[in-house]
Chain A
Amino acid sequence: MSDQGNRLGRLLSWDAAVVLVTVTVLIVASGAVENFGTSRNFTFLLLDLLPIALVALPMTFIIVTGEIDLSVASTLGLTSAVMGSLWDAGLSIETIIPLCIVLGAVLGALNGFFVTVLKLPSLAVTIGTLALYRGLAFVVLGDGAVADFPRAYTSWVTGTLGDGPIPNVLVPLAVVALVFGVVLHATPIGRGVFAAGAGEQAARFAGIRTGRLKFWLYVVSGAVAGVAGVLWTLRYSSARADNGYGLELAVVAAVLLGGVSIFGGKGTLPGVLAGVVLLASLQNALRLQDVSNEALNIVTGVLLIVSVLLPNIVSSARTALRRRHRATAPSAVSPER
């Protein structure tokens, strides 16, 4: 394949397509949906998608290595519950927040230990810890809620920069997203992640310690879920054991829609973030149009199935084309496409 062919391939790649579709949806919705394009709605939209986007960052790494972490939402819930009970016990918020992030990391490390040291399948492990951590959250806080968090913190998390449309929280999160993007796409660590996903054996022969790498990815995933738990609690000024319930599926859906292969080895972070924005803005726009939840779920489901089907259809069409080429010109060098 020539350089030109490569570039064309990049342009037509799935994640580029998702970015394009997302931008299109945003533009069309701003024009067609009443009240969608206002700055206040922009704030609502961002505040709604930030926790999903945040948790999706480490999730992308993990899915690219060919593993999965379904316990993130339960980690968020347990962090929130612990945050509430520590606050009730009279600890200062400045102590509680780092403790909660450390707790998230520990919960992630437990996943990592099971997956990399005991070599258990990550799907089974994290479904197990999904139930375990959520159960612990209810043990810690029961059915109740803790709500009297300091206003300085809660209003910062729900507030915007200088009363504009940009939420305060977006600033640190954008920096975090940038760091994750650079690490994944421009460092040896990122190359190791892709290599581990493309083929565990080959990656090991190339000297990549896949086990250690995956372990730390789970730790980071847990810590980030801990951060999300803290932000969630402050945004809704309510620490509850059921916080973030079901969020893991929204995150995995966005990651897959963003062009990450569930089998590992393929995907980009910009694609994932576009996937998050696409799902959230579709939901927001359809709700403004009074579309029912059922219809919303159907749209999301169809979108996901299409996102899994389409790349397959495209690639098999390409193979068929190539075969036909070979049949007509058996002696030709590989044709330019």
Chain B
Amino acid sequence: MSRRFLTGAVSAGLVLVLAACGGTTKDDSSGSGAQQSTATANPNAAAKEGVKMAFLPKQLNNPYSDIEVSGGKAALGELKGEYKLVGPNDASASSQVSYINTLIQQQQDVIGIAANDPNAVCPSLNQARSAGIKVVAFDSDAAKDCRDVFINQATTQGIGEALAKQAKDLSGGSGEIAVLSATPNATNQNAWIEVLKKELAKPEYASLKLDKVAYGNDDDQKSFQEAQGLLQSFPNLKVIVAPTTVGIAAAARYVSSSSYKGKVAVTGLGTPNQMRAFVKDGTVKQFALWNPADIGYLAAYAGVALKSGQISGKDGEKFKAGKLGDYTIGANGEIVLGPPTTFDANNIDKFNF
């Protein structure tokens, strides 16, 4: 009995394997059902009032995304639209889908989304678009064929160049520098560091030497210890570049309380509120970041422009974004916010985020 069962099972398995031989693999071309918008834009159309726009950040109650959407709320106030904020409590890939579905049911006009996963949200975003909802991705893009435009806070190239320039300025043009990054597999950070390295290979940066890329895993304590380790291993270090808000704050805290204060510069990407004290006490001369509130602000203006028919998401279309001025849509529906803002003792008190 059991032997017969075994024979049956084995032959069933064989059949499965044989059936699988002629199967669908990665190399089979799969046509992606890209939805290209066929709408034509009329740049002179009037901006609609009462546009219902819902923001769906990666997760709720995250300080950074709270600032982002506050900009969206302000913009919708200016545009006389209706602002709404929804989102999951965890930043997992699939949790956003049911929120998108709810927004479809509620017949929103625009969805502004920071995608946790570019593909997981794709089918439902396209369902939303077939229901007439405009989709603006911000901060973290969804796949290109499931959104109308993407608000990019800064280009990878722009950030990498800014980091290189900071290192050069603060080292006086020559000497040893080190990078304190987030996790070894952080997509953004790695891309920026790649650009930084390419910049450093150029002749105008020839006298700068990158000693090491250390990883603090975006954990305050680990970043603090890594900063300490860098300064112990490389006594001639002039600049620590930390392209992460956790890393820059931890490095600044260590340097400000050590004998290196005033000798070693800390720079990178940070928020004015966390860095204010270190700028005031002279540990940090300058650092950079885009203004997160402007991302949400621009997303809201882009959303209303889409809904009003002023733009459709094509390369070269132009629209006005309130206090931020005029914007032009680039390739693949990308709208770049602009170069990162540099913060120093002169301007830091103008910012509160």
**Nearest A-chain residue to B28, judged by Cβ:** A150
Instruction: Check if B26 is an interface residue, CB within 8 A of chain A.
Output: yes
Partner of A287, one of B19, B28, B94, B99: B99
* Contact code string A23-60 (vs B, CB < 8 Å = 1, else 0): 00000000000111010110010001000000000000
Partner of B106, one of A93, A242, A288: A288
* Contact code string A254-293 (vs B, CB < 8 Å = 1, else 0): 0000000000000000000000000000001001101001
Instruction: Check if B232 is an interface residue, CB within 8 A of chain A.
Output: no
Contacts known (A40-B105, A287-B98, A288-B102); A145 close to B117, Cβ less than 8 A: yes
Q: How far is it, in angstroms, between the C-alpha of A293 and the C-alpha of B31 when the chains are bound?
A: 38
Task: Please count the residue pairs between chain A and chain B whose beta carbons lie under 8 angstroms apart in the complex.
Answer: 114
Q: Is the CB of A90 within 8 A of B27?
A: yes
Segment at the interface with B among A105-113, A193-201, A233-241? A233-241
**Nearest A-chain residue to B101, judged by Cβ:** A44
Residues of B within 8 A of A90 (CB): 25-27
Q: Is the CB of B33 within 8 A of A243?
A: no
Q: How far is the CB of B267 from chain A (nearest CB, A)?
A: 26
Residues of B within 8 A of A150 (CB): 24, 28, 30
Q: Is the CB of B30 within 8 A of A246?
A: no
Q: How far is it, in angstroms, between the C-alpha of A238 and the C-alpha of B120 when the chains are bound?
A: 5
Q: Is the CB of B105 within 8 A of A35?
A: yes
Q: How far is it, in angstroms, between the C-alpha of A284 and the C-alpha of B106 when the chains are bound?
A: 12
Instruction: Check if B123 is an interface residue, CB within 8 A of chain A.
Output: yes
Partner of B105, one of A41, A48, A237, A297: A41
Residues of B within 8 A of A311 (CB): none
Residues of B within 8 A of A151 (CB): 30-33
Q: How far is the CB of A248 from chain B (nearest CB, A)?
A: 14
Instruction: Check if B7 is an interface residue, CB within 8 A of chain A.
Output: no
Instruction: Check if B119 is an interface residue, CB within 8 A of chain A.
Output: yes
Instruction: Check if A142 is an interface residue, CB within 8 A of chain B.
Output: yes
Q: Is the CB of B105 within 8 A of A38?
A: yes
Q: How far is it, in angstroms, between the C-alpha of A92 and the C-alpha of B28 when the chains are bound?
A: 10
Interface hits, B37-88 → A, CB 8 Å: 60, 84, 86-88
Q: How far is it, in angstroms, between the C-alpha of A296 and the C-alpha of B238 when the chains are bound?
A: 52
Contacts known (A94-B24, A245-B92, A290-B86); A236 close to B97, Cβ less than 8 A: yes
Q: How far is it, in angstroms, between the C-alpha of A259 and the C-alpha of B53 when the chains are bound?
A: 41
Residues of B within 8 A of A293 (CB): 60, 87-89
Instruction: Check if B347 is an interface residue, CB within 8 A of chain A.
Output: no
Residues of A within 8 A of B90 (CB): 245-246
Interface hits, B1-26 → A, CB 8 Å: 16-17, 19-26
Residues of B within 8 A of A36 (CB): 105
Q: Is the CB of B99 within 8 A of A240?
A: no
Partner of A236, one of B31, B87, B117, B187: B117
Residues of B within 8 A of A35 (CB): 105-107
Q: Tell me how many residues of B have a C-beta within 8 Å of chain A.
A: 46
Q: Is the CB of A237 within 8 A of B119?
A: yes
Instruction: Check if B324 is an interface residue, CB within 8 A of chain A.
Output: no
Q: How far is the CB of A33 from chain B (nearest CB, A)?
A: 10
Partner of B117, one of A95, A98, A158, A240: A240
Q: How far is it, in angstroms, between the C-alpha of A242 and the C-alpha of B96 when the chains are bound?
A: 14
Most buried by B among A36, A245, A293: A293
Q: Is the CB of B94 within 8 A of A237?
A: no
Q: How far is the CB of A270 from chain B (nearest CB, A)?
A: 25
Q: Is the CB of A147 within 8 A of B106?
A: no
Q: Is the CB of A236 within 8 A of B60?
A: no
Instruction: Check if B309 is an interface residue, CB within 8 A of chain A.
Output: no
Residues of A within 8 A of B175 (CB): none
**Nearest B-chain residue to A88, judged by Cβ:** B26
Q: How far is the CB of A103 from chain B (nearest CB, A)?
A: 14
Q: How far is the CB of B273 from chain A (nearest CB, A)?
A: 25
Q: How far is it, in angstroms, between the C-alpha of A287 and the C-alpha of B96 when the chains are bound?
A: 13
Residues of A within 8 A of B88 (CB): 293
Instruction: Check if B233 is an interface residue, CB within 8 A of chain A.
Output: no
Instruction: Check if B122 is an interface residue, CB within 8 A of chain A.
Output: yes
Q: How far is the CB of A52 from chain B (nearest CB, A)?
A: 12
Instruction: Check if B340 is an interface residue, CB within 8 A of chain A.
Output: no
Residues of A within 8 A of B31 (CB): 151
* Contact code string A197-238 (vs B, CB < 8 Å = 1, else 0): 000000000000000000000000000000000001001111
Residues of A within 8 A of B117 (CB): 145, 236, 238, 240
Q: Is the CB of B19 within 8 A of A94?
A: yes
Instruction: Check if B331 is an interface residue, CB within 8 A of chain A.
Output: no
Most buried by B among A94, A148, A243: A94
Q: How far is the CB of A37 from chain B (nearest CB, A)?
A: 10
13 A-B interface contacts by CB (under 8 A): A40-B104, A92-B22, A92-B23, A98-B20, A143-B185, A143-B186, A145-B117, A147-B143, A232-B94, A236-B117, A238-B119, A243-B94, A293-B89
Which positions in B face A, CB cutoff 8 Å?
16-17, 19-28, 30-33, 60, 84, 86-90, 92-94, 97-99, 101-102, 104-107, 117-120, 122-123, 143, 183, 185-187
Which positions in A face B, CB cutoff 8 Å?
34-36, 38, 40-41, 44, 48, 87-88, 90-95, 98, 142-145, 147-148, 150-154, 158, 232, 235-238, 240, 242-246, 284, 287-288, 290, 293, 297
- Further pairs besides A236-B93, A238-B119, A287-B102: 17, Cβ < 8 Å: A35-B107, A92-B23, A92-B24, A92-B25, A94-B23, A95-B17, A142-B185, A143-B186, A143-B187, A145-B117, A145-B118, A147-B143, A236-B119, A237-B119, A238-B117, A243-B94, A245-B90
